[in-house]
Amino acid sequence: MSKRIEVRDLNVYYSKFLAVEGVSLEIEPRSVTAFIGPSGCGKSTFLRTLNRMHEVIPGARVEGEVLIDGNNLYDADVDPVLVRRQVGMVFQRPNPFPTMSIKENVLAGVKLNNKRISKSDADALVEKSLQGANLWNEVKDRLDRPGSSLSGGQQQRLCIARAIAVSPEVILMDEPCSALDPISTLAIEDLIEELKQDYTIVIVTHNMQQASRVSDRTAFFNIAGTGKPGKLIEYDDTTTIFSNPSVKATEDYVSGRFG
């Protein structure tokens, strides 16, 4: 249920501005890959090209190839909607749908696509997804309450439950813990560890400890200066990146001596 991602020589543009240049990397199935790097270096932009979410921003376009199990996302006939059903995403700020209850939020991927689902199947899917997101025990008695009634950490886990309810192959996480307290962060990190059994996970984070805790491999992005494109500097096993990086800039960044 998880897939291998292969990126070949990817350039991302916002209109004429080159935001990310020449990224090539391979992400193994059933692994956690962390993207680290200073703000504005193109980590999030690059992450969003992995499920064509960058296209939501007018003027954004891509050169190069992203292959998911050998299928190029940027072939002419590819439907971005079908891509996003395979590659789910969790955002920086928890964003449950305010008009929907907790249960409806989990079922959003099914319901919003006008798919019919029997009540027993729906209940089973809600329970499975919420348990997958470690949220079931906290909300099982109030599934009909609005999603926005939960705390920030619970809302973020609700968003993860919503993402895994459509059973994607890959889950992208864009700084999923940056708005959360340490306890909720811990809950989500444990969750990532569990989700790794079934999904390919890519996570953007500013928290170096988090990257070293949860990820198998780490990619370090950097930017030469404002207005210059972000580049992939080094991509290796997490232990190597944090203990014995081959590039000086990586070592400076992970040891806090940057800039």
Partner 1 sequence: MTTTLTPPELRPAASPIANSLTAGKLPQGAPWMMLGASLLVAAGVFGVVAAGNGSEFNWVGTLVVGAILYIVAIWLFSRIVEGSRRATDRFVTALVTGAFVLAMIPLVSLAITVVTFGLARFDAEFFTSSMRNVTGEGGGALHAIVGTLLMTGTAALISIPIGLMTSIYLVEYGRGRLAQGITFLVDVMTGIPSIVAGLFAYALFAIFWGPGTRTGIAGAVALTVLMIPVVVRSSEEMLKLVPNELREAAYALGVPKWLTIVKVVLPTAIAGITTGIMLAIARVIGETAPLLIAAGFTQSMNYNLFEGRMSSLPVFVYTQYANQGNPPEAYLDRAWAAALTLILIVMALNLIARLVARFFAPKLGR
Provide the binding-site residues for partner 1, judged by CB under 8 A. 51, 53, 56, 58, 81-86, 88-89, 91, 93, 95-99, 108-109, 111-114, 145-146, 148-149, 159, 162-163, 166
CB nearer to partner 1: give 88 or 245. 88
Shortest spacing between CB 18 and partner 1, in angstroms: 22
Shortest spacing between CB 172 and partner 1, in angstroms: 8
In order of 111, 125, 130, 221, the CA distances from 119 in angstroms are: 12, 10, 16, 46
**CA-based end-to-end distance of the chain:** 41
**Within its chain, how far is the Cα of 31 from the centroid?**
13
Shortest spacing between CB 93 and partner 1, in angstroms: 6
CB-based contact 232:64 (threshold 8 Å): no
* Residue whose C-alpha is closest to residue 34's, from 16, 23, 20, 47: 47
Shortest spacing between CB 124 and partner 1, in angstroms: 19
Shortest spacing between CB 249 and partner 1, in angstroms: 31
Strands (E), the chain: 5-14, 17-27, 32-36, 60-68, 71-72, 87-90, 170-174, 200-204, 217-223, 230-237
Shortest spacing between CB 162 and partner 1, in angstroms: 7
Q: CA-CA-CA-CA torsion for 240, 242, 244, 249, nearest 10 degrees?
A: 120
CB nearer to partner 1: give 93 or 228. 93
CB nearer to partner 1: give 175 or 251. 175
Task: Give the strand pairing for 170-174 and 87-90.
Answer: parallel
CB nearer to partner 1: give 3 or 217. 3
The DSSP bridge partners found for residue 118 are none
* Residue whose C-alpha is closest to residue 165's, from 130, 121, 120: 130
CB nearer to partner 1: give 64 or 88. 88
CB nearer to partner 1: give 58 or 225. 58
Helix axes 152-165, 119-132, angle to 10 degrees: 130
CB nearer to partner 1: give 176 or 229. 176
Shortest spacing between CB 99 and partner 1, in angstroms: 4
